[in-house]
Structure 1
Amino acid sequence: MALNLSTVRSLHAASYLILSSFLFACEPPQLNQQEYDWTLPKGFPRPLVPKDNPMSAAKVALGKALFFDVNLSFNQSTACASCHQPAFAFSEPKKTAVGSTGQRHRRNTQSLVNVAYNSNLTWAHSGLDQLEQQILIPMFSENPIELGITGHENEVLQRFKNQSYAKLFEHAFDDSNADFDRMVKALASYVRSLTSFASPFDGYAYQNNDDAMSDAAKRGMKLFFSEKVECFHCHGGFNFSQSSQHENQRLDLRPFHNTGLYNIDAKGAYPVYDQGLIEVTLQPQDMGKFRAPTLRNVEVSAPYMHDGSLATLEDVIEFYAAGGRGHGTTNPLKSAFIAGFDLQLQQKQDLIAFLNSLTDRQFLNSNVN
């Protein structure tokens, strides 16, 4: 029997509530969607969109052109897509990102899959909740340098004042003039358009296709939604991430967690070069907390964790089975859900089979430029 709502309920009441929360309608916000076609499957909610940047197909088209254009970097070496590569679910197969000057960053490149639903952006910033804010960081940040536009603003803008881009800006904004405000809004619109809901799991869970998932993946799904491994507590909901908001649900669940990756002083400290949410909040209890990312398309978004320190899904399963890594297992600030568990080899393989069932090949193939 396919995973309809009653089946999910039988797996566990808590997992049912998390997985199907988007069906419980609240009063939707009054947003200007401008007739944009999200092409979402029936029953899935639309993302929240700022009133001052409504979605449009023309804006998405402009944003896509900008996203793949190396001219957006000051030295014309790097595009947004250089780090957010479609084949890897808009992440990249590197431990940490490398900017346009060759500077290595401290954090792993996050996938942009369904980022429109994120209530918080980046790995550890509780104040960034709009893509229009976040996009300014790779464009203008000086430490670390990503696209490196700061100090080269006029030079970069001139590259987009040509006939081809003039038509794109005209269609998107009824004005052919390129400026950074419009570029940011177009980029945000394109990134919001990257929705992925056509995985084997979606076919099984939401389209009642019993054959969409393998038997191993179905067994792994039951483990995923069980209290034994407790994955669903942090990777819940239709987006498999606690950091989700949409037109029917605006509750902020504080999606940051300390997973016991480090404990360098036996008191819970993370390495000084990256201590997570505490850097923003200055609250001691936020040491080592990072946002739980979506697990959609996780099969292709290796390596894992905020610092890319786990190379494979097998490594991730072993990490959580151990309840952390090394001294991190005794980190006093570690989430209560990271308690460790015992699984047989076949169960671990089943769990990975389920995670692989979240891969949306249609999404990956359709976004290759």
Structure 2
Amino acid sequence: MNKLIWLGLLVFSIPLIYLATTLSQPEPKSDYRWPLAQGFPKPQVPESNPMSQAKVELGRYLFYDKALSANQTQSCASCHIQSLAFSEAKPVSVGSTGEFHRRNSPGLINIAYNKTLTWAHDGLTDIEQQLLLPIFGENPIELGAIGHEDEILARLQRSPYPELFKQAFPNTKSEVDFVQVTQALSSFVRSLLSLNSPFDRYAYQGQDEALNTQELAGMDLFFSERLECHHCHGGFNFTQSTSHEKQPLDKRPFHNTGLYYTERPSLASTSGTMTQNLGYPEKDRGLAEITINPMDDGRFRAPSLRNIALTAPYMHDGSVVTLEEVLEIYAAGGRNITDGDYQGDGRLNPLKSPFIKGFTLTDKEKEQLLAFLHSLTDEEFINNPAFSDPWLDTK
């Protein structure tokens, strides 16, 4: 089946399966207290799934439970590891059946503030909707729940689930279903806030000593017009793709960063012969696959840079191994691949963002910029017991 067709069917038809159930389950008003420092805005939450501590705790159990996959070999946490800011140290993810995916597993950092989700889809705006992809997706298979729904739900009858579901959904008399599963998982993912890095303590908590001289110099470089990093990675969440109670406007930024400019087969010409054109590899053309707009070729969502030092390898396909290499690519104004697959000079890509124009850094400045990026690491976040595997306490 055409990739665009199955993706559209999955994203937009599966929610309809559970729509009646969702509408029939009134939820109490939120009793959840966001752990936010003064001045930080609250994330926006769907009215149909208000936050509650009980739902967050249920979601934590589900997030770490391999019983949620058809063959019981993987959980959400298999590809989203807390010590790595809920990313994984692989170029691309591998599903529960051993199938290699085409994209890198992004860190789950302040996802509650993201208005668009995944690497390149401007129609995925709710976590409840996005979660259907890893649970039910068939191309590629991740958890592989399609056709195994009843047996997976049956596994959720074991302790401590009956009490957890009862506390999370006190007004629901029906049996456990995937609406409750996705709502609880969404609540847990929304709770994964990272706002206590050294940079935060310096910028928002008034601790001038939180950043040293080298990190401060790197911060100045980051926010300079000379490097222009902040145009795509701006705001308190270090990404343009941010929305909250005080900023409902969604800019939906997707950028072509000149990572590729390679030959690929084009549609047959009028003479019936295949011609070649240039752009991002056919295996993943980014937003263009969703919008069918050639101008969106190679455009991907700018991720948050929070905890960026922990989430290697980088880019949508995990093809850049280190932060140093990332800086070198941006300094060059794109990536020039001279051998192997996908040869071509991304610096010449005509659809490249105007902010990727290249710059010069001295060795000292490079060290300063890297030091600043490391200052975005939140040790409290990656060690927070509220985000950890609850099943370890039961073994």
TM-score (norm 1): 0.90
Equivalent residues of 1:33, 1:49 under 8 A apart: no
Aligned to 2:116: 120
Aligned positions of 1:254-333 closer than 5 A: 254-265=252-263, 268-326=278-336, 327-333=345-351
Aligned to 2:49: 53
Q: CA deviation at 1:268?
A: 4.8
Q: CA deviation at 1:267?
A: 5.9
Equivalent residues of 1:235, 1:292 under 8 A apart: yes
Equivalent residues of 1:81, 1:90 under 8 A apart: yes
Aligned to 2:243: 245
Aligned to 2:368: 350
2:69 is aligned, of 57, 73, 78, to 73
Which amino acid counterpart does residue 218 of structure 1 have in structure 2?
L
Equivalent residues of 1:268, 1:287 under 8 A apart: no
Tell whether 2:30 aligns with 1:34.
yes
Q: CA deviation at 1:250?
A: 1.0
Aligned length: 339
Q: CA deviation at 1:163?
A: 3.8
Equivalent residues of 1:268, 1:333 under 8 A apart: no
Which amino acid counterpart does residue 178 of structure 1 have in structure 2?
V
Q: Aligned Cα RMSD in Å?
A: 1.4
Q: What fraction of aligned residue pairs are identical, expressed as a percent?
A: 56
Q: CA deviation at 1:90?
A: 0.4
Equivalent residues of 1:267, 1:331 under 8 A apart: no
CA–CA separation in structure 1 for the residues paired with 2:373 and 2:158: 45
Runs of 4+ with >3 A deviation: 265-268
Which amino acid counterpart does residue 354 of structure 2 have in structure 1?
A
Aligned to 1:170: 166
Which amino acid counterpart does residue 334 of structure 2 have in structure 1?
G
Q: 1:270 to 1:171 in 2, by over 3 A?
A: same
TM-score (norm 2): 0.84
CA–CA separation in structure 1 for the residues paired with 2:332 and 2:42: 38
Aligned to 1:92: 88
The structure having more radius of gyration, on CA atoms, is 2
Q: CA deviation at 1:368?
A: 3.5
Aligned to 1:210: 208
Aligned to 1:340: 358
Aligned to 1:199: 197
**Which ranges in structure 2 are unaligned for 5 or more consecutive residues?**
1-26, 264-275, 337-344, 390-395
**Which ranges in structure 1 are unaligned for 5 or more consecutive residues?**
1-30
Aligned to 1:233: 231
CA–CA separation in structure 1 for the residues paired with 2:130 and 2:41: 23
Which amino acid counterpart does residue 368 of structure 1 have in structure 2?
S
Q: Secondary structure at the match of 1:156?
A: helix
| 1:251-290 Cα shifts (integer Å, max 9, x gaps) | 1112100000001139651111100000000011100000
Tell whether 2:388 aligns with 1:368.
yes
Q: CA deviation at 1:148?
A: 0.3
**Higher relative strand content:** 2
1:153 is aligned, of 149, 154, 176, to 149
Aligned to 2:22: none
